Amino acid sequence: MKRYLLSSIITLIFACLSFVVQCQNIALSQTNKSGIYRKGQKIIVKAFAENLKEDSLHIRVYKNNNQLAGQKTYKIGKDSILVYEGSFEDPCSVIIEARNGEKNASLGMLIDPEKLKPGAKCPNDFEVYWDNQKKSLNKLPLDIKRAGVEGSNIEKGYICENIEINCLGPKPARGYFAKPENAAPKSLPIVLLVHAAGVKGSWCRSEPGNSMKYAKMGALCFDLNAHGMLNDQPDSYYINLENGELKNYWLQGLTNKDDVYFRGMYLRLLRTIDFLTRQPEWDGKRILVIGESQGGGQALIAAGLDKRVSAVVAIVPAMCDWFGSLVGRMGGWPQPFETDTSKEEMLKALPYFDAANILKSSKAIILTEIGLIDMTCPSTSVYTAINQAKGQKLIYTVPYRPHHQPEGNLAKTWEEDFYKPRELFISNYLK
């Protein structure tokens, strides 16, 4: 592990460019290139617009993602347009949206994000609940089913297996496990890969190539699918799951903590880590969990529930600050508290599964990427959860990133400023 990873720096904010091209015809710039401001600090946003069908630019200002804080229409000229100037007195997010017909651009910012606090209190018996869950899991003897994997992805000198690990109901943990062949005992780190939301999409399924990528970097790697699904099945299998048993799975069991769907998902994380830490090649020190969106949320959860997790890469993570709406903010995906289900019952059940509570016991290194115009996993929800962790934090704020990866003119900028540094962190951590 590189020495700088263990430095005493608590939080690093990696800046983006102050001038960003949002689409072919509209560009926005802001005072601070990182998008981070302090209470009362002046924010100035300018727009550059040309070659548009209409001669007016419509500006909207949103606070905390969905609260309209102002709007105005400007005439487009040859020079830049000052479209916003102001400040905020409380921790919050701000999104400036510019529209001209079908063309649009958005830019985000955060005010005092380190001061954001969870929308609801952590239950008094939170630790007792999870201690009991872990004890029940540990009482279940490990039963592991293995099947060798062959194919073009499996190179000579490596082993890849299709693994099923029994778990507390309702599903086992399933995925692909790969490692270098004949590695010395206690010589390799662990990498656990976790997946984004959905069922039938390619991004939801475990693949041998995913685990092989990190095995070739010298790691024990498990690519875990979120739902305990069978691997390598016909498309019809996943389509039937998505339309049937797993339809809107994120809304299942919201009013009873023992029925919440994410309980099973989190237990499968713990079970997989137990399997991995029993491998004789594990160095006994490094466990890195990597995921995006729902996978990013799982990565944070793993760090909070298992103190052996030493580092996390959580990209636009979900499952954060589900009760943000109680204090005027959007909660993180899947926004369960913003559904029509009984609020009183959800307040009793869901706090046990919110990353904003689970992360309180984590001392892992957390690298996270936060999209400041993300409407699925709002920036305030992610920051609120990350604030609770006690370890080193490397926070990449991307003012022009929605939930998905930036596209078009911004793709190259994002790749250089955020994707490559992330991959470098992973590479260095595994050395």
> Where does the pLDDT of residue 300 fall: very low under 50, low under 70, confident under 90, or very high at 90 and above?
very high
Q: Where are the domains of the chain?
A: 18-113, 126-430
Query: Which of 100-104, 163-167, 303-307, 371-375 shows the lowest mean pLDDT across its residues?
Result: 100-104
Question: 18-113 and 126-430 share one CATH topology?
Answer: no
Pick 364 or 12 by higher pLDDT: 364
Q: What is the mean pLDDT of the chain?
A: 93
State pTM to two decimals: 0.94
Task: Among 3.40.50.150, 3.20.20.70, 3.40.50.1820, 3.40.50.2000, name the CATH number for the domain at 126-430.
Answer: 3.40.50.1820
Is the pLDDT score of 9 beyond 80? no
How far is Cα 176 from Cα 319, in angstroms, rounded to an integer?
Answer: 24
Residues whose CB is less than 8 angstroms from the CB of residue 423 and which lie 6 or more positions away in sequence, other chains included: none
> Where does the pLDDT of residue 18 fall: very low under 50, low under 70, confident under 90, or very high at 90 and above?
very low
Q: Which pLDDT score, from 0 to 100, does residue 8 have?
A: 33
Is the pLDDT score of 320 beyond 90? yes
Q: Which pLDDT score, from 0 to 100, does residue 170 have?
A: 87
Q: Which pLDDT score, from 0 to 100, does residue 79 have?
A: 83
How far is Cα 339 from Cα 122, in angstroms, rounded to an integer?
Answer: 21
Is the pLDDT score of 390 beyond 90? yes
Pick 121 or 77 by higher pLDDT: 121
Which homologous superfamily does the CATH classification assign to the domain defined by 18-113? Immunoglobulins (2.60.40.10)
